[in-house]
With several copies, the nearest count.
Chain A
Amino acid sequence: MSIFVNASTRLVVQGITGRDGSFHSKQMLAYGTDMVAGVTPGKGGQKFEDKVPVFNTVADAVRETGANTSVIYVPPAFAAAAVAEAADAGISFIVCITEGIPVLDMARIMPFVREKGARLLGPNCPGLITPGVAKVGIIPGQICTPGRVGLVSRSGTLTYEVVNQLTRNQIGQSTCVGIGGDPVIGTNFIDVLAAFQADPDTDAIVMMGEIGGTDEQKAAAFIAQHVTKPVVGFIAGQTAPPGRRMGHAGAIVSGSSGTAAEKIAAFKEAGISVMERPADVVRLITERLKN
């Protein structure tokens, strides 16, 4: 199968009539995603591309079309509210592409999303794709091919780079997931790793991290304990300058952690094969799948 999106995904696009929303909605439609509805307040009753009904509210869309998954392209000032709207309307999987959402907006609505039992992917993420089945977000469909490698990444375009390497070498993907790099996100590495571990159609996992924070170290510890499938990893930012300090508090919270070296060491300790450059993914995955 795949994780999070599959053949029963019924997608509603929030912000379907906006510049980015309409552009990517066309691409998602072209890819064959089962897009059942769009939402733009004030444009209820229209049809997008002459086939997708547009509603004023997500609640209307869910009631009329049975949508179960949403993808959000609304501007940053309204995006957190759009996430809450989707969760309140009973959407169980929400993908928020929007970049630049105030962090406190997200901190305020995340507990609501959790209480409603919804899963949020993002924000500020490229979404995800289950090649050949459904594309939800902005990952270019043409670089993907169906297969049995699961991919999870904190970044957008770096994900594409690695997926592209895999596809060009005939290594297909079960699902490719971009979790986004914002301070407050709905789905983290561990959530995705657990889903891949449980997915019978994923044989190996590629995990793309970055410098900063300790999410990669936590994911490595999770992998050591709970993931039996082979994992290949990458950390971007080995040559990046140290980030600006966020007062004393930033230093106190993060301590000395967050460097590429520390993360790579954690990966190695957890038995993850570490790529030195994106193109290494092919060799390493091939090796790990052989053993």
Chain B
Amino acid sequence: MNLHEYQARELLKAAGVPMLDGGVAATADEVHAIASRIGGTVVVKAQVHAGGRGKAGGVKLAKTPAEAKEVAARILGMTIKGLVVQKVLVVPAADIASESYVGLIMDRESQRPLFMVSSAGGIDIEEVAAKTPEKIHRLAVDPRFGLMPHQSLGLALKLYQDFNQVRAAARMMEQLYSVFMANGASLAEINPLATTSDGKVLALDAKISIDDNELDRRPDLAALRDESAEEPSEVTARKANLTFIKLDGNVGCVVNGAGLAMATMDLVKYYGGDPANFLDIGGSSNPEKVVNALKIITADPSVKVILFNIFGGITRTDDVANGIVTATRQFKVDLPIVIRLTGTNEKEAVKILEGVGMKALNDMDEAVKQAVALAKGAK
């Protein structure tokens, strides 16, 4: 789960990371009030879960409260990469002398939180990484010992010469690490970590993503989720414990397991069709999930056929069958449904489906071919 910049700032601030005092607002009037309180030039920043806000016009300078209000009125409601801006963050404009980058991510390879720092920070950090990888310094932190003082100092020495700045940056890395670990983050970034012309070191922008698996036991973090900033169909899917990604085709896919879901989409393409979505109903079986999956897919008008591809393991195919039967009783499904079921409790599943006059195929290729043919016939 991605946090908004203003939420990430709050977590970092509580840990002591130095940053400029700002405020978050949902209306242009609130922005005026905040800008008045701050005084001087401010930056108004769109709070959306999308990169490249600045280039999309979602970050603007304003010299006066009146200008801030005006700018905010333009940014609020703006759409950036499909997401509507609901809130803006207002912070004083900083007098930046240099920009560094500090990122901390859960690294698959080392299986540890990995620091990446560079004195060449700012919005072009990815280009720096691609073109001059030697400018990115890395350190995997052993969680058994935490970030040790000589390690944070060593990282900070890659960023600054002035020892006051080195110590300030080292402290911020320790704070960033503690926020990361304490909140089950999968990513925590400060970019830019800026020095001002009077030598101070400040976090000017922050990004934190929380591991979704932490949220069940951390209601405080789960409460930070801003559903208004997400794709509605994905919100519905997540609430139903489904993984759903909308695509452009017309074959609606309901599959158990991400690997098989991808392989099913690949096979739809292989046989000349176009998948309408990625939808993984996951491991544990629960008829309700199938009902929700069908609701989400049938809500997409471009879908012409629904393809179930279920290989039972931990998922019991009879549960899926029951879900299909329940769904078709709860609401009318006008689309053709092609069902492929095999594995755990397959016999029971077939019986259940046959009981309502539905048929289940056993072969994946055959099911996909049928679904593609139906989708083409429906055009």
Tell me the smallest distance from the CB of B24 to a CB of chain A, in Å.
20
Whether A85 is near chain B, meaning CB under 8 Å from some CB there, is yes
Whether, in the assembled complex, B186 has its beta carbon less than 8 Å from a beta carbon of chain A, the answer is yes
Given the known interface contacts A20-B314, A107-B106, A248-B189, the answer about A158 and B257 at a Cβ–Cβ threshold of 8 Å is: yes
Inter-chain contacts of B151 with A (CB < 8 A): 88
Which of chain B's residues has its CB closest to A160's CB?
A: B311
Q: Is B61 an interface residue (CB 8 A)?
A: no
Asked whether B209 is an interface residue with its Cβ less than 8 Å from the other chain, the reply is yes
Q: Are A102 and B108 in contact (CB under 8 A)?
A: no
Are B113's CB and A236's CB within 8 A? no
Interface string of B83-105 (1 = CB under 8 A from A): 00000000000000000010111
Q: Are B125 and A248 neighbours in the complex by a CB distance under 8 Å?
A: yes
Inter-chain CA distance A59–B157, complex, in Å, is 12
A132 → B minimal CB distance (Å)? 18
Whether, in the assembled complex, A170 has its beta carbon less than 8 Å from a beta carbon of chain B, the answer is: no
How many residues of B are in contact with the other chain, CB < 8 A? 79
Nearest CB on A from B183, distance (A):
9
B154 engages A57 (CB within 8 Å): yes
> Which residues from A are CB-within-8-Å of B260?
155-158, 160-161, 236
Asked whether, in the complex, the Cβ of B282 is within 8 Å of the Cβ of A239, the reply is no
Is B10's beta carbon under 8 Å from chain A?
A: no
The reply to whether B245 and A59 form a contact with Cβ atoms under 8 Å apart is no
List which A239-268 residues lie within 8 A (CB) of chain B: 239-241, 245-253, 255-256
Q: Given A41-B153, A241-B247, A245-B51, does the pair A236, B266 have CB atoms closer than 8 Å?
A: yes
- Is the Cβ of B213 less than 8 Å from the Cβ of A247? no
Residues of B within 8 A of A278 (CB): 263, 267, 364
Q: Is A240 in contact with B283, judged by CB distance below 8 angstroms?
A: no
- The docked-state distance in angstroms from the alpha carbon of A287 to that of B259 is 25
Q: Is the CB of B282 within 8 A of A99?
A: yes
With contact pairs A111-B142, A248-B126, A277-B267 given, residues A20 and B259 touching in the complex (Cβ less than 8 Å): no
Q: B328-360 interface mask toward A, CB cutoff 8 Å, 1 = contact, 0 = none?
A: 000000000000001110000000000000000
A42 surroundings in chain B (CB, below 8 A): 163, 166-167
Complex: how many Å from CA A103 to CA B107? 10
A248–B191 touching, CB < 8 Å:
yes
Q: Are A213 and B108 in contact (CB under 8 A)?
A: yes
Enumerate A138-168 residues with CB–CB distance to B below 8 Å.
138-140, 143, 153-161, 164
Interface code B105-119, partner A: CB below 8 Å = 1, 0 otherwise? 111110111101000
Decide if A283 is an interface residue (CB 8 Å cutoff). Answer: no
User: Chain B's nearest CB lies how many Å from the CB of A95?
Assistant: 13
B163-A41 in contact (CB<8A): yes
Interface: A38 (CB within 8 A): no
Known A57-B153, A110-B111, A240-B265; contact A253-B214, beta-carbon cutoff 8 A = no
- Residue of A77, A102, A239 most packed against chain B (CB within 10 A): A239
Chain A 197-212 against B: per-residue CB contact (8 Å), 1 yes, 0 no?
0000000000010110
Residues of B within 8 A of A157 (CB): 255-257, 259-260, 310-311, 313, 315, 343
Whole-angstrom distance between the alpha carbons of A42 and B268 in the complex? Answer: 49
Q: Which residues of A contact B191 (CB under 8 A)?
A: 248
- Please indicate the chain A residues that have their CB under 8 angstroms from the CB of B184 in the complex: 102-104
Quick check: A140 and B313 within 8 Å, CB to CB? yes
Contact of A103 among B154, B186, B217 (CB under 8 A): B186
Q: Is the CB of B148 within 8 A of A81?
A: yes
- Most chain B CB within 10 A, of A76, A102, A183, A245, is at A102
Given A81-B148, A157-B311, A160-B313 in contact, is the A100-B163 Cβ separation under 8 Å? no
CB-based contact A249/B105 at 8 Å: yes
Q: Across chains A and B, which 6 residue pairs bring their CB atoms closest together, nearest first?
A: A155-B259, A157-B257, A85-B150, A158-B259, A249-B103, A157-B260
For the complex with contacts A164-B311, A208-B259, A238-B262, 18 further pairs of A-B residues with Cβ separation under 8 Å are A27-B344, A57-B153, A99-B284, A102-B211, A103-B213, A104-B113, A140-B344, A153-B259, A157-B259, A160-B313, A181-B258, A184-B108, A210-B262, A239-B262, A239-B266, A241-B278, A248-B126, A277-B270
A residues with a Cβ closer than 8 A to B are: 20, 23-24, 27, 41-42, 56-59, 76-78, 81-82, 84-85, 88-89, 97, 99-104, 106-112, 126, 138-140, 143, 153-161, 164, 181, 183-184, 208, 210-211, 213-215, 234, 236-241, 245-253, 255-256, 276-279
